[in-house]
Amino acid sequence: MTGTTWILAADGTQARLLKGVNLIKDGRQNPEQEIFRTEVRKAQDIMTDRPGRSHSSVGPGRSAMDYPSDPVREEQQRFAAEIADRIDDYAAKGEFDRLVLCAAPQTLGDLRGRLSDRVRTLTTAEIDKNFSSLPTDKLISSVRSIMFDA
């Protein structure tokens, strides 16, 4: 497996892009890394207003209303879109030959929906596991074992 392999490990709030990984060579590697982070916030921190209350159709009661959407989920999707855009830019410049995506299942789906056709053709593996917090050596060995020992 020659050429330039990159590994993206992501979840909804953080991602790490390892550039120039050798999946054949065993042992310690020190690839260049790019880190992506977004602030972890709760729905009430994102929304400036409370969702409000409504009056009951019968009687004097009032009840809380829900937010019309999930603001935390929307931020996670926006984060995945930013990562996908960056990877698309790198692919357009021909900076890598192969990409291995490792992401929490929901984030992996978000990335799939945002990556360009060019990046999808360069993607050699998709691993639906959250490896974003693993140390570099453990991340590389986990990817290697999944790809070659399976």
How wide is the angle at C-alpha 9 spanned by C-alphas 79 and 24, nearest 5°?
Answer: 150
Q: Match 């009430």 to its residue by tokens.
A: 44
3-state SS class at 92: helix
Burial of 17 (0-12, 13-18, 19+ CB in 10 A): buried
Number of domains in the chain: 1
Residue 33 sits in a domain whose CATH number is 3.30.420.60
- Residue 92, domain extent: 5-42+65-148
Rg, the chain, Cα only: 20
pLDDT above 90 for 96: yes
Residue 48 resides in a domain = no
- Count CB atoms within 10 A of the CB of residue 89: 12
Q: 66 versus 18: which is more confidently predicted? A: 18
Any domain includes 57: no
* 1 compared with 120, residue with greater pLDDT: 120
Beta strands in 2-52 (DSSP E): 5-10, 14-21, 32-37
Helix (H, G, I), strand (E, B) or coil at 95: coil
* Residue 41, both tokens: 């916030």
What's the whole-number mean pLDDT along residues 46-66?
A: 55
Classify residue 102: in a domain, yes or no: yes
Q: What is the mean pLDDT of the chain?
A: 83
